[in-house]
Structure 1
Amino acid sequence: MPAKPAPIKKAPLKKAAPKAEAKPSEPAPAPEPPAPAPPAEAPPAEPAPAPVEAAPAAEEAAPAAPAEAAAADDASAAAPAASEAPAEAPVAPPPEQPKAPTPPPPAVPTSEPLNLNVDDVNDTSVTIKWKTPENLGDSGLDGYTVEYCKDQTSDWVVANPELVVTNRYVIKDLTAGDLLHIRVKAVNAGGPSAPGTLAEPIRVREVVDRPKIRLPRFLRSRFVKKVGEQVNLVIPFHGKPKPTVTWTKEGQPVDPKKVSVRNTDRDSILFIRKAERDDSGKYEMCVKVESFEDKVMIVIQIVELPGPPTGIKLVDTWGFNAALEWTAPKDKGNTEITGYTVQKADKKTGEWFSVLEHYHRLNATVSDLVMGNSYSFRVFSENKVGRSEQAAVTKAFATIQKTGIVYKPPEYQEHNFTEAPKFTTALSNRAATVGYTTKLLCSVRGYPKPKIEWMKNQMIIGDDPKFRQINNQGVCSLEIRKPCSFDGGVYTCRAKNVHGEASVACKLEVKQVMLPDAEKK
C-alpha cells in the first residue's frame, strides 16, 4: 500500500497512481505547464501541477510508477516525491484543446437600386431619385453611395461623404455645361451592390421651361369613333428649349402607314384618315426637354355595328303566346351590347312588325297573337352605334290553334244598396219676422227613396198653400210664406221607407216688429 501523504511544504509533484496499468513501451505523458500552488484544503482529486523546477523529478518518477520491483536507485529517487504527493490522486486526463468557432457565412450584397432618374437639374446641381432594391440580402440595407463622372472619362467621384438613407440626393457644386454619367450603389455588410445607372448622361444646365401637356377635357376619358370616321386630335403643350415629341401605341411606336403625326412648337396632331377597329388602343404622348418629360395616355375606341345573335329558337307555344330564346352575338362591334329588337311576321303577309325594342334579356314571350295564324320571329342586336344589319330568324313557325271559345261573363255579387232613412243634416232652430218668408232645411238618405212628411206641432201640414215642400236629391226644405205670430212652433221632418223611418225637429219663433211711438201715431 502507498504511504499516506506528508504535509505539503512546497508544490507537489505529479505522480501516476501505483495501480495504473501501462505498458513499458508506451511513452510517458508530457509534463503539464506550471501553475500556482493550490491551497491546502483543496480536494485530493484535483492535484496541483508541479512547478517548473520539479519537472525533472516528475519525468524520472513517471516511468518508475508502473513497475512494482524497481531498482533501488529509482526507488530512492521516487521516495521524496511519494512522500510529498497524495498516493490516491488519479491521473488527470490531458485537457482538450478548444475548437475554433465556425465562421459565419459571408454577408450578401443587395441588388442594384431601381428606376434611377433625374428629378431636377440646374446650372450647379442635379437632383436624382431611385427606388429601393428588390433584394436587400441577409444583413439589410445601410445606405447608398452616389457617384458621377464626366462623359468620355472613367474617373468616378463619390458625391456623398456619408451614406445616404433616403432615396433622393442632390449632387451640388457642379460645373455648368458638363455632361455627367451618374450611378447609385446600395451598401450593406456584404459591401456595395451593382450600380444602378442613368440610361443617358445628363447635361448640367438650367431648363428654361419644363415640358407640360395640356390635355383637352374630352380626351381625359375614352375617345369613341365609328369605323370609317376621321380621328383628328390636336394636343397643345409647352416647353423650352423645343421639346421632343414621341407617340407610342401599346408601348410600340405608331405605324406611320396608318397614323400621321405632325408636331409644332406648341402642339401635336394625331390624324387617322379612315379609322378601323385595329386602330383602337392606348396611345401615349411623351414631350421631353433634356431629362424632363411629361406623358399623357389617350384611349381610342373604334366601334361599329354588332353582328346578329348567334342562334334563336322557338321554345314553346301556348294559347296566344310564343316563347323565344337566343344567344349573344360573337361580334359585338368592339363595344358592349345595349339591347335587342324582337320582330314577328305573319306567314300569310310576310310583313315584319317590332314587338320588343331595346330589350336586355336573352329570352322573351310574345303575346297577343292571332288565332289560326302562323308566325316566324327574328332578333337584331343593338349597341351604341345602332342595330345590326342582319338578324337571327327562327326556323320553325309558331301556329296558334283555333279552339272553341265560349264567353262566360264573370259573376259578381250584387251589392245591397237598401238602407233605412237617415238624416245626414238635422234641422236648426230658427227665428223669423212676421211678414218675411223663411225656410227650414235638412238632408236625408235612404233606399228605396224615402217619403217625406212635414209636421207642425205633431200635426201633418199636408197641402196647406201657406207652406211649400221641396225634396230634391235628398235635400228637404219647408218654405213658410209670410209667417204670422201663429206660425211659430215645433216643426218636424219625417222620412219613411220599407226599412224604417227617421225624423228631425226644430223650433221656429216668429217675432213681431216693434215700431217707434212716433210711427204709431
Structure 2
Amino acid sequence: MPSKPAPIKKAAGKEPAKKQEAAPEPAPEAAPEPAPAEAAPEAAPAEAEAAPAEAAPAEGEAPAAPPAEEPKPPTPPPADAAAPATEETPAAAATEAPTDAAAPATEETPATAEAPADAAAPEETPAAPAEAPADAAAAPAAEEAAAVSEAPADAEAAEAAPEEPKPPTPPPPPPKEPTSAPLDLFVEDKNDTSVSIIWSQPEIVGHSGLDGYTIEVCKDGTEDWKAVNEELQKSCRYVIKNQTTGDRLKIRVVAVNAGGRSPPVALPEAVLVKEVADRPKVRLPRFLRQRYVANVGAKINLTIPFTGKPKPVVTWTKNGQPLDTKRVNIRSSDRDSILFIRTAEREDSGVYEMCVKVEDFDDKASLILQIVELPGPPASVKIVDTWGFNVALEWTPPTDNGNTEITGYTIQKADKKTGDWFTVLEHYHRLNATISDLIMGNTYKFKVFSENKCGISEDATIAKEEAKILKTGIEYKPPEYKEHDFSEPPKFTTNLTDRATTVGYSTKLLCSVRGSPKPKVQWMKNQMIIGDDPKYRQICVQGICSLEIRRPGNFDGGVYSCKAKNDHGEATVSCKLEVKQPAVPDAEKK
C-alpha cells in the first residue's frame, strides 16, 4: 500500500524560503510546447515511496507534478473530459512534496525537491497557454497517470460530474411503398438498330416520390430480361439502341422509387427491329370521301393514291368480304391503286375498304359506291273523290326505287275528247294531291310518274277510274232552229284573163269558183281535157283554181277552159294564151 502523503503543516515553515530560492521568473511567452498525451505516464514517478501522491485530483483539478531525477520539460496534465482546460507550470527538478489537495487545480507552482507547492500563491505561477486542447485522447492518459501514482480517485467528485442530456427519439418514418405500373407504353418509331418507346407516368406515385424508370428487353420466346439503361431514366421516352436488325424484342418499363420496383408495363406484342422509312398513308380524293353515285351500265374507274416505303401491300374488301374478281378489277402500283368496273350493276353497290400495310403499320380508307337507275312507276293510283271542278288523287310509292330515294312525283291529266296529256304537278313530294280548275262537262283521266336522282320513270301508272265534271245548277237547253239549205250550183267568182308569155318561161292561169256541195274542177285546152299531163300542174284549194304551164313551147298557145260541176249544175270560163318567140339582136341575125 502506498504511504500517506505528508501533511501540509510540516512544510509550512520552509515553504516561503524555498519559494524564494527556487521560483523562476514567470515566462509565459517562452512556455514549452505541450508534450503529447502519451508522454504523461512516462513522466509520472515510478516509486511510490519517494513521492507519496496526494489524493487523485477531483474533477476540475490538475494533478501535481511528480519528482524527477533529471529536469524535463513540463508536460500538459491530462484534462478531464468534463472539466475545462487548465494551466500548467514546469515542475522542479526534485519535488518531494505533494500538491495540497485543497489547492486550486487551475494553476501549479514550481517547487524545490522538498518544498510542496502551496495553492495560496497562484499569482507567482506563470500561466500556460490557455489554448491547450482538451483532447479526447487526454482523458485515458490522465486515468493512467492517476493509477501509477496509486492515488485513489475521489468517488464523490466522480459522482458530481454532470451527465449529458440525450436527444429525444424521432418517430419511426412511414413505410415506403413502390409506385403503380407506368401507363400507355407504345412504340413511337424504329429503324434497323434502335426502337424508340414512349409511356406515361404511373397513376399512383405515393409519398416516396419517383426516382426514375428502368427499361428492360428480352428476345421473343425467352424470359431473359435485361435492363438497357445503366442509370434510372427520368423522362417518359427512351431510345433502345445497338440492337440487331431482324430481332423481335419484348419490351417493358418498371418505375423505381425508395419503396422498390413497381409492377412492369409491357408491349402487347414483340417488336421487329427493322427500319420503316415511310409509314403507309392512303390519300383518298375529296370527291370519294362522300357517297359516289353512278348509273347502271356506267364504267367505274377510281384511282386512290397512297404513300409508303417499302412498297405497301394493298388489299381490298367489299362490305367486309373479299372482292369478286369477276366483277371488280384491282390494279395496284407503287403509288396508287385503281378500282375498275367495266359495266356497273346495282349489285356492285356497297362499302369498299382499301388497306395499305408496311410491316406492323397500316392505314385504311373507305368509300361508298352506289349504282342507281330510273325508278319504277307508282304501285297504284286511284281517284278518291270528285266535287265541283276538283278531283282528289292518291297513290303509293313504287316497288323499285332505282336503288336510291324517291325525290318526287309528276301528275298529268288528259281530256277524254282530245286524249292529249298535260302536266299539272311536277316534283311533288306527297302521296296525295288535289287537281283543280277542271272544265265542266268534260271527262278526265290521270296518271302519275316517279322521280329520283336519275330522272323520271319511263312508265306511269294510270288511274282506272275516270273523273267527269258534272254540270251544276240550271240545265241548259239549246234553242231549236230550222236548218238552212246552203246547196247551190257552181259559180266562178273570178274569171280567167287572156295572157301572153315567151317560149321557155312558165306561166299560171288563175280563177275562183264556189258551190255546194264542193264542185269538181276540170281543165281543158282547145276543148281537150288536159288530164295528168306532167307539163301542167293543177291545184284547187279553198275554191282557188290554178293551172301552171311549165316552159311553154311554140305549140302551147291556144284557148284554155276551166269547168266546175256538182249535183246542182256546172259552169265554164275560158281565156286565150299567146306564146311569143324571144327577140334576137341584129348582130346575131347577120
With the length of structure 2 as denominator, give the TM-score of the two structures. 0.42
- The structure that has the greater radius of gyration is 2
Question: Which is strand-richer, 1 or 2?
Answer: 1
